[in-house]
Structure 1
Amino acid sequence: MSSIDPMWRLTCVYGELRTENRQRMWNTIVDLKNRSNLPWLVVGHFNEVLWQHEHMSETKRPEPQIRVFRDTLESCGLVDLGFTGVPFTFNNNQSGRKNVRVRLDKAVAIDSWRDLFAETEIKHLTTPCSDHSPIGLTLIKETSQPTVRKVRHYEIVWEKAPELEEIIANTWASLEHNGDLASKFYQQKLEDMSRDYFKDLFAADPNITPDEIVDLFETKVTNMMNEQLCAEFSDNEIADTLF
């Protein structure tokens, strides 16, 4: 930041784990708001949601504790900056009805800060190493016009492939660390692995049973109803249909 850039302040938060202690954090945010008139950005793990739809679970989140958080931000003039990516930043990684996904991490700012950084973007990132996802904050969009070329993206799923480490080691060893050549060859190997991975992504896996999902469906047709549906047609039913 140069001397001519406007000053603003940043507050990073990590929310209280216990619900009964969360009011302390809300009081601290209000206190920080009253200490300065500078443009203000607050970002981090609030451990709370603004709306019920941000809590994706079979059990609803208590509405009063959501309302207290929302009222705190409104009283400070802090506005949710939104996001791109998956709609949650926490996933307990359990299956079926036990799964809980919540948007606990956010970036909020007052209007004067939003005026300074109108192009701000918040992105929910992904990681295979934690049940919490980091968020990325971009203040200024890239304005340069790069040369048109094929863009290759690193896929996080590659890290789960057991053959990845062997491919990297063999590639570098066979090419004797020839920079440009190794880079191109390594790139091709990753492309091949990615293509092989996604080729059968939506194909049926004979090793996976659908019972875990099917068991979640509520029964709509009773055994008695099923017997009636499977019964032989009577003469009266045939006559009513034809005549």
Structure 2
Amino acid sequence: MNYLSWNCRGVGSLRAVRILGDLLKSSNPDFVFLSETLVEKKDIAELVKKIGFFDYFAVDRVGRGGGLAIMWKRSVRCKVIDFSRNHIDVHIMERSNVSWRLTCYYGFPERSRRHEAWNFLRRLVKYDNIPWCIFRDFNDMLCASDKAGPHPHPQSLLDGFKATVEDCGLLEVELKGGDYTWEKSKGKPNWVREKLDRAFADANWWRKFPLCKLTVIHIIKSDHDPILLEPVNTEFSRKQFRFKFENTWLHEPSFKEEVIKHWRQIHKLHLLPKLLSVSSYMARWGRTFFHKFRDKVKKQKATLYSLVDISDDDGLNVILRNGRNWRTYFYMRSYIGSNEQKLFASKRKKSNHITHLVAGDNEVVDNHDEMSRVVLDYFQNIFDGDNTDNTQPVNEEIRVITDEQIQD
């Protein structure tokens, strides 16, 4: 299911209704969140009838400003659990009884209320313990690159919002399709563009939706661009999503550089969400690489078939050279027989089983709980210390040793 969000700046006008209609046709969302509707509940009820959605919930405007609304199709099972002038909290029940919490959020637009907004987010995180995602207009930025134009965003506000996100244990969903979601005075000397609309999720939500996508949809007649959230619940498939690293990726020169770049772009949060983000990035990268790899194999096979009738020395050298390349490709992605596969799997399982660990002080531990403690301490030393850029070596290390080495 897809979740569309748009700061419509008034949904009562014919122009806004037309823009919304175009968005529904192009994106086909199952759930829509509108902020700054500038209308009352009865107007939202009429809108829902026009666009053919199943149900809705709305928060009235206050004076001439504000107003929130969500609407959903019959395929969506959701229940409103809390709301205010700045948010609507819902429980989403998907197939297989997968339940998660979605907070549709509209942050305080006044800069003087930034601390109030940050404390409000900290209260929201304590509301429930099921997988949680929060999206829409935060009216806040995480880093200087989130703004283009004159008058850089104050560093104190950047630091405050970043600290709030970290305190809430949230990881940002990467935005596709553009760097900014709001602009003003386009084409003029004071042209300003900012990334105000985002989606964040906690570790539990990332476990269920590791392949989620967030896309900005550019529209001409609005200063705010809509965003489309697409969770991909891997529990729906017969085989649950499981990340598998392919050794063939290491043969692509750009792989390591791109993964390191992605890792460093992720804000410093808990280790698990960072690992989930990087693994899902590598999975997406691997799917693209596989298509390139498959084309290479086809090209190599075609080259070999075209040389089968060559008998001179130069031709034979070409065949041998291409044959070596083909064997390299083949062994990198070959499928082996069932008996050999069982033998290989058993050997791999045995080699992957850790029976002893040696901590940095040469302490040998073989108890599962103690080994878990050693590993946890090791990674906390890496990720929670001052070594935030991961470029300096870590003094302490852990080593895996076998039973044979223990006996020796």
Q: Structure 1 length as normaliser, TM-score?
A: 0.56
**Equivalent in the alignment of 1:70:** 162
- 5+ residue gaps, structure 1, are 144-243
Separation in 2 of the partners of 1:46 and 1:111? 20
**Equivalent in the alignment of 2:173:** 81
Aligned 8 A contact 1:93 1:131 in 2: no
Structure number with higher strand proportion: 2
Separation in 1 of the partners of 2:131 and 2:119? 19
Q: State the 1:5 CA deviation.
A: 2.5
After superposition, the CA RMSD in angstroms is 2.2
CA displacement, residues 202-234 of structure 1 (integer Å, 9 cap, x when unaligned): xxxxxxxxxxxxxxxxxxxxxxxxxxxxxxxxx
Separation in 2 of the partners of 1:2 and 1:103? 30
| Mapped pair 1:10 → 2:95 | no
| Mapped pair 1:104 → 2:193 | no
Mapping of 1:92-241 within 5 angstroms?
92-140=184-232
**Equivalent in the alignment of 1:58:** 150
Pair 1:140–1:3, CA change in 2 (3 A): closer
Q: Secondary structure at the match of 1:98?
A: coil
Q: State the 1:97 CA deviation.
A: 2.9
Q: State the 1:86 CA deviation.
A: 1.4
Pair 1:95–1:123, CA change in 2 (3 A): same
Pair 1:2–1:100, CA change in 2 (3 A): closer
**Equivalent in the alignment of 2:319:** none
Separation in 1 of the partners of 2:233 and 2:206? 14
| Mapped pair 1:27 → 2:119 | yes
Q: State the 1:119 CA deviation.
A: 1.3
Q: State the 1:23 CA deviation.
A: 1.6
Q: State the 1:96 CA deviation.
A: 4.0
CA displacement, residues 47-94 of structure 1 (integer Å, 9 cap, x when unaligned): 111110011112211000111111001001011111111110001133
Aligned 8 A contact 1:54 1:87 in 2: yes
**Equivalent in the alignment of 1:91:** 183
Q: State the 1:35 CA deviation.
A: 2.0
CA displacement, residues 28-62 of structure 1 (integer Å, 9 cap, x when unaligned): 11111112211110001001111100111122110
Separation in 2 of the partners of 1:38 and 1:141? 15
CA displacement, residues 124-145 of structure 1 (integer Å, 9 cap, x when unaligned): 10111201101011112899xx
Q: State the 1:20 CA deviation.
A: 1.0
| Mapped pair 1:38 → 2:143 | no
The code of the aligned residue for 2:170 comes to L
Separation in 2 of the partners of 1:53 and 1:95? 19
Aligned 8 A contact 2:209 2:233 in 1: no
Pair 1:53–1:140, CA change in 2 (3 A): same
CA displacement, residues 186-213 of structure 1 (integer Å, 9 cap, x when unaligned): xxxxxxxxxxxxxxxxxxxxxxxxxxxx
Q: State the 1:3 CA deviation.
A: 6.7
Select the residue among 137, 140, 151 that pairs with 1:48: 140
Aligned 8 A contact 2:148 2:193 in 1: yes
Separation in 1 of the partners of 2:222 and 2:94? 37
Separation in 1 of the partners of 2:95 and 2:214? 26
**Identity within the alignment, %:** 29
**Equivalent in the alignment of 2:56:** none
Q: Secondary structure at the match of 1:20?
A: helix
Pair 1:2–1:52, CA change in 2 (3 A): closer
Separation in 1 of the partners of 2:94 and 2:198? 27
Q: Which runs of 4+ in 1 moved over 4 A?
A: none
Separation in 1 of the partners of 2:189 and 2:140? 21
Q: Secondary structure at the match of 2:115?
A: helix
Pair 1:3–1:105, CA change in 2 (3 A): closer
Aligned 8 A contact 2:215 2:228 in 1: yes
Pair 1:99–1:77, CA change in 2 (3 A): same
Separation in 2 of the partners of 1:24 and 1:59? 23
Aligned 8 A contact 2:208 2:233 in 1: no
Separation in 2 of the partners of 1:2 and 1:66? 35
The code of the aligned residue for 2:111 comes to T
Bigger RCO of structures 1 and 2 (CA < 8 A, at least 6 apart): 1
Please identify, of 87-96 and 119-128, the stretch whose mean Cα deviation from structure 2 is larger: 87-96
Q: Secondary structure at the match of 1:128?
A: coil
Q: Secondary structure at the match of 2:177?
A: coil
- 5+ residue gaps, structure 2, are 1-92, 237-408
